[in-house]
């Protein structure tokens, strides 16, 4: 009989954003007993472990995993709107990231994924860095059809954030030499695209800071926003597409052209000095008055992962799906769904546990 790994209990509790007092009450033990379970001073009996697994929605097998979950250092993570986050939210997001690392490893063992193509542009200002990256990647000044697909094609792993971390906009992190981006899919599609470009800005401009765990501050966030704005709306294209009048009617067309929020379009014209301060202020007032800051008008279709889509499609050919990933990692299927943009419709799940691995051949996933 394998021994219970106490760190797995603590991990699962943090993942669900429960305090020790809350969990101990749910499972009917004292806080001291739970403390002992998590420290390894004592182990829960089988009945108590079953309660822990049920309350935290983790399979009982998860608590017997000998290898500890990957640790995520807060100083190495770039968070959007960090000031609004509680320590519990951050810890929950770290736990989501750790599970995503395991999912990615499972996939990499079976599929050949795109290699990393991410230049270090830390010596450039945001505007110049965005223009340079577009040149390096051969994007020209055209709108980017799908930001997630673009990032994945360059070797960046993109996962969705679970409901437990809905208060987090987005974050990025390097893990074992691979960059990861996590996006909150509860936001509008336009803002999610901007978040993805924002995190890309951190990955190409704050390489040393992130990889050496030096943390970041408000100025880094401001510069990442500037990078995202310039990357999604190149200056030359913005200048060439100036509207005959700065009204919401004309800005709405440009919002669809670049795939950004109405507010982002207005700000970009302002940041390039193409509209007066008075004109920009009036636009902001009109956008707010119409409720467009919280409810994006004429919303675009939400972007999803193409890489994970192709993985699920390939698994389906073998009669397998996300349940096999969940069983291999000893987590719930819902955990896999939450991190993979809920691509459940692509999965065909067998009714029995997988024993043979999927598949023997490592097909190369080509992103187009």
Tens-place pLDDT, residues 24-51: 999 999 999 999 999 999 999 999 999 9
Q: Which residues of 306-317 are buried (b: 16+ CB within 10 A; e: fewer)?
A: bbbbbbbebbee
User: How much is the pLDDT for 135?
Assistant: 98
31 burial (CB, 10 Å; 0-12 / 13-18 / 19+) is middle
Looking at the fold, whether 116 and 169 belong to one and the same domain comes out as yes
Structure tokens, 189: 């599609």
User: How much is the pLDDT for 80?
Assistant: 63
Residue 321 lies in a domain: no
User: How much is the pLDDT for 213?
Assistant: 57
Looking at the fold, whether 111 and 201 belong to one and the same domain comes out as yes
Looking at the fold, whether 215 and 107 belong to one and the same domain comes out as yes
Residue 83 lies in a domain: yes
Looking at the fold, whether 202 and 180 belong to one and the same domain comes out as yes
What is the phi/psi pair of residue 31, to 5°? -60, -35
Looking at the fold, whether 209 and 255 belong to one and the same domain comes out as no
Residue 79 lies in a domain: yes
Looking at the fold, whether 92 and 221 belong to one and the same domain comes out as yes
Q: What is the CATH number of the domain that holds 48?
A: 1.10.260.40
pTM, two decimals, is 0.89
Looking at the fold, whether 203 and 133 belong to one and the same domain comes out as yes
Could you tell me if 291 and 280 are in contact, meaning their C-beta atoms sit under 8 angstroms apart? no
Split into its structural domains, the chain has a count of 3
Residue 338 lies in a domain: no
Looking at the fold, whether 163 and 134 belong to one and the same domain comes out as yes
User: How much is the pLDDT for 186?
Assistant: 83
Could you tell me if 20 and 31 are in contact, meaning their C-beta atoms sit under 8 angstroms apart? yes
Residue 17 lies in a domain: yes
Tens-place pLDDT, residues 93-130: 899 999 999 999 999 999 999 999 999 999 999 999 99
Could you tell me if 368 and 357 are in contact, meaning their C-beta atoms sit under 8 angstroms apart? no
User: How much is the pLDDT for 345?
Assistant: 39
The residues facing 181 across adjacent strands are 158, 172
Which residue positions in the chain have pLDDT lower than 70?
A: 1, 73-76, 80-84, 163-166, 208, 210-216, 343-368
User: How much is the pLDDT for 19?
Assistant: 96
Looking at the fold, whether 188 and 244 belong to one and the same domain comes out as no
Looking at the fold, whether 192 and 253 belong to one and the same domain comes out as no
109 is in which domain, residue-wise? 74-232
Looking at the fold, whether 53 and 160 belong to one and the same domain comes out as no
Residue 342 lies in a domain: no
User: How much is the pLDDT for 295?
Assistant: 92
**Three-class SS string for the chain?**
CCCCCHHHHHHHHHHCCCCHHHHHHHHCCCHHHHHHHHHCCCCCCHHHHHHHHHHHCCCHHHHHCCCCCCCCCHHHCEECCHHHCCHHHHHHHHHHHHHHHHHHHHHHCCCECCCCCCCCCCCCCHHHHHHHHHHHCCCCCCCCCCHHHHHHHCCCEEEECCHHHCCCCEEEEEECCEEEEEECCCCCHHHHHHHHHHHHHHHHHCHHHHHCCCCCCHHHHHHHHHHHHHHHCCHHHHHHCCCCCCCHHHHHHHHHHHCCCHHHHHHHHHHCCCCCHHHHHHHHHHHHHCCCCCCCCCCCCCCCCHHHHHHHHHHHHCCCCHHHHHHHHCCCHHHHHHHCCCCHHHCCCCCCCCCCCCCCCCCECCCC
Looking at the fold, whether 102 and 239 belong to one and the same domain comes out as no
């Amino acid at each position: 009989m394998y021994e219970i790994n106490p760190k797995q209990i603590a991990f699962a509790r943090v993942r669900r954003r429960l305090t020790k007092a809350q969990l101990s009450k749910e499972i009917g033990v004292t806080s001291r007993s739970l403390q002992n379970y998590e420290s390894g001073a004592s182990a829960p009996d089988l009945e108590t472990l079953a309660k822990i697994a049920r309350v935290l929605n983790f399979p009982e097998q998860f608590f017997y995993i000998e290898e500890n979950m990957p640790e995520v250092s807060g100083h190495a993570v770039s968070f959007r709107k960090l000031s609004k986050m509680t320590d519990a939210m951050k810890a929950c997001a770290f736990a989501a990231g750790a599970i995503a690392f395991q999912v990615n490893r499972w996939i990499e063992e079976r599929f050949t994924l795109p290699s990393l193509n991410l230049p270090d542009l830390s010596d450039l200002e945001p505007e110049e860095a965005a223009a340079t990256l577009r040149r390096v990647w051969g994007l020209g000044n055209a709108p980017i059809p799908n930001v997630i697909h673009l990032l994945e094609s360059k070797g960046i792993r993109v996962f969705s954030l679970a409901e437990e971390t809905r208060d987090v906009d987005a974050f990025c992190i390097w893990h074992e030499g691979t960059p990861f981006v996590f996006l909150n899919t509860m936001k509008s599609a336009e803002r999610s695209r901007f978040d993805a470009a924002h995190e890309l800005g951190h990955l190409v401009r704050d390489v040393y800071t992130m990889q050496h765990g030096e943390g970041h501050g408000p100025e880094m966030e401001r510069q990442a926003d500037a990078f995202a704005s310039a990357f999604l709306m190149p200056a030359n294209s913005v200048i060439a597409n100036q509207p005959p009048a700065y009204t919401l009617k004309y800005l709405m067309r440009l919002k669809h052209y670049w795939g950004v929020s109405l507010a982002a379009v207005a700000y970009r014209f302002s940041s390039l000095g193409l509209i007066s301060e008075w004109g920009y202020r009036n636009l902001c007032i009109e956008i707010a008055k119409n409720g467009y800051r919280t409810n994006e008008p004429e919303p675009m279709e939400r972007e999803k992962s193409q890489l994970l889509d192709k993985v699920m499609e390939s698994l389906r050919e073998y009669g397998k799906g996300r349940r096999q990933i969940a069983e291999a990692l000893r987590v719930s299927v819902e955990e896999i769904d939450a991190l993979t943009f809920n691509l459940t419709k692509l999965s065909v799940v067998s009714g029995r546990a997988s024993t043979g691995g999927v598949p023997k051949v490592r097909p190369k996933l080509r992103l187009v």
